[in-house]
Amino acid sequence: MTERIPFTRSNRDGPALHPAVPLPRPSAENLLRVQRIRWNDDLLVIAAAGEIDLATAGRLEQALRGRLPAATVLDLSEVGFLGVAGLRVIESAAVRARAERRTTGVVAEARPVLRLLHLFGSETQIPVYRRLDHAILEVSNQ
């Protein structure tokens, strides 16, 4: 026999929700913010903040499309979650950069992001940095 959730009337602050009731998922725009920052003529920084998963990976992919300068740094220092779909976007961008003889680097510091990069061996193909200033210095000089 299952226990029923008792019906509770709303109070003056709005309806009372039971903790088991899931809240609606925010839109992709609210889950991930992506900004293209032209550092100089030869360097583009793409800064992402939020979560990169199947629902938001397209936003990152859009920022990595088109004509890119000689060096690109993908700043994931404000990303709290990186899913496999996002990792595939990053790897595809790195493959494209190598084919076009451009350099790419990734900045990451959150454990879930670093863990996925490590588990898939991505850090052996794409240089990963803990700080943006180090990435800019290294990627610009390659």
Residue 34 lies in a domain: yes
Residue range(s) defining the domain that contains residue 64: 28-140
Domain for residue 10, yes or no?
no
- For residues 46 and 72, is the Cβ–Cβ distance under 8 A? yes
* Number of compact structural domains in the chain: 1
pLDDT of residue 13: 55
Q: Which pLDDT score, from 0 to 100, does residue 30 have?
A: 74
Q: Cα(28)–Cα(34) distance, rounded to whole angstroms?
A: 11
- Are the beta carbons of 133 and 112 closer than 8 angstroms? no
Residue 30 structure tokens: 């609210």
Is residue 84 situated within a structural domain?
yes
Would you say residue 103 has pLDDT above 70? yes
Does residue 76 lie in a domain region?
A: yes
What are the pLDDT digits (tens) for 122-138? 988 999 999 999 999 99
Asked if the structure places residue 7 within a domain, the reply is no
In a domain, 125, yes or no: yes
Q: Is 32 exposed, middle or buried (0-12, 13-18, 19+ CB in 10 A)?
A: buried
Residue 35 lies in a domain: yes
Residue 61: CATH number of its domain = 3.30.750.24
**Confidence at residue 84, expressed as pLDDT on a 0 to 100 scale:** 96
Residue in this structure with the two tokens 């920084």, named with its chain if needed: 45
Handedness of CA 133, 134, 135, 136 (dihedral sign): positive
For residue range 8-61, what is the model confidence (pLDDT) as tens digits? 555 555 555 556 667 666 665 678 999 999 999 999 999 999 999 999 999 999
Q: 40 lies in a domain? A: yes
88-97, long-range: CB < 8 A, 24+ apart: 88/57, 89/52, 89/57, 89/60, 89/61, 89/64, 90/60, 90/122, 90/126, 91/120, 91/122, 91/125, 91/126, 92/61, 93/61, 93/64, 94/125, 94/126, 97/68, 97/72
